[in-house]
Amino acid sequence: MEVDVKPDNILLDEQGHAHLTDFNIATIIRDGERATALAGTKPYMAPEIFHSFLSGGTGYSFEVDWWSLGIMAYELLRGWRPYDIHSNNPVESLVQLFSTVSVQYSSAWSREMVGLLRKLLTVNPEHRFSCLAHMQASAHLSGVVWSEVCEKRVQPAFVPNVSDPVPAPGLLLRLRAGLSWARALCLCALLSRAKGRLHCDPTFELEEMILESRPLHKKKKRLAKNKSRDNSKDSSQSENDYLQECLEAIQQDFVIFNRE
C-alpha cells in the first residue's frame, strides 16, 4: 500500500511512461490486516484514514490508494482538487467535510468519465473501485488494451525531450499553475534565452517560485552575492537584470497553486 499517491510522486521516464515513486511511508498489508496510522498528504488522503485516526475503528487498506488516484485524476482534468483541503485543516473538520460536501463534476466531461471518477471518489471504501479489474470493467476505459499498457507498448500522449531544458519546466508550469502549454513554454523560453546561451537552470528557477515564500527577495540576495564574485561587473549586472525581469514577469502571471 503506497499511502501517498499524488502528482508530486508520479514521474515520467524518457519515453513518457509514468512511474510511481516515493515509498517512504508505504506499508505491506497482509490478508486480514488493516493500517491505522494517520499517514499521507491530507488533500489526497481517503476519508477512512481520518475516521480511523479519530475513532480508532477498523482501520484502512488498499482502497485508500484508489481514492488518491481519483483525487489526482480529477485534479489533472480540472486544474484543482474536488475538495478544498490543506495541510493545516483539523482532522475533525475533514471528517465532517466528507459527509457534507459533494464533488462537483464538469458538464464538459463524458458520462463515462464522470462515472469512473464517482467510483474512485466513493466515500465508503466498500463501494469504491479498488483493483485493476474494477478499472478494466469501466465503460470509460473499455477501449484500453491492457496487455499493451503493461508492456509499455502504448505511445504516451506526452514524451519529454530530455535533451532540451525547456519542455520539462513547461510541463511543470502548466501542471502547477494551470497555464496553457504555449504560455508556459514562452515563459520557459524567456528564462533560457540570454545571448543565445543558457545562463540558468529553468527547472530550479521555477521550483523556487513554487517553494519560496518570497522568491524574488531570495533571488536578489543570491544575485548580489554572485555579482560580488564576478570581475566583469557590467556584464554580470546586465544578465542579472534580464533574469530579474523574467522572474518578475513570471510572478505577475503565476497563479498560486497550493498543494499542501
Identify whether 22 is a catalytic site residue: no
Say which residue the cell 530530455 belongs to.
162
Given the residues 4, 201, 230, 241, the one annotated as active site: 4
pTM over 0.75: no
Q: pLDDT digit of tens for each residue in the chain (260 aa)?
A: 999 999 999 998 889 999 999 898 999 988 889 999 999 999 999 999 999 998 877 899 999 999 999 999 999 999 999 999 999 999 999 999 999 999 999 999 999 999 999 999 999 999 999 999 999 999 999 999 999 999 999 999 888 877 655 444 444 444 444 444 444 444 555 544 443 444 444 555 555 445 454 555 555 566 666 666 655 556 666 667 777 777 777 766 665 555 44
C-alpha cell at 199: 545562463
194 forms beta bridges with: 197
Can you give the chain as a three-state secondary structure string? CCCCCCHHHEEECCCCCEEECCCCCCCCCCCCCCECCCCCCHHHCCHHHHHHHHHCCCCECCHHHHHHHHHHHHHHHHCCCCCCCCCCCCHHHHHHHHHHCCCCCCCCCCHHHHHHHHHHCCCCHHHCCCCHHHHHCCHHHCCCCHHHHHCCCCCCCCCCCCCCCCHHHHHHHHHHHCCCHHHHHHHHHHHHCECCECCCCHHHHHHHHHHCCCHHHHHHHHHHHHHHHCCCHHHHHHHHHHHHHHHHHHHHHCCCCCCC
Q: What distance in Å separates the CA atoms of residue 252 and residue 216, rounded to the nearest whole number?
A: 12
CA gap 176, 194 in Å, rounded? 25
Q: What is the 3-state secondary structure (H, E, C) of 126-170?
A: HHCCCCHHHHHCCHHHCCCCHHHHHCCCCCCCCCCCCCCCCHHHH
8 Å CB contact between 67 and 28: no
The whole-number pLDDT of residue 220 equals 58
Residue ranges and CATH numbers for the domains of the chain are 7-150 (1.10.510.10), 167-253 (no CATH)
- Output the pLDDT for position 192: 46
Q: Identify the pLDDT of residue 118.
A: 98
Look at residue 169 in the predicted model and tell me its pLDDT.
46
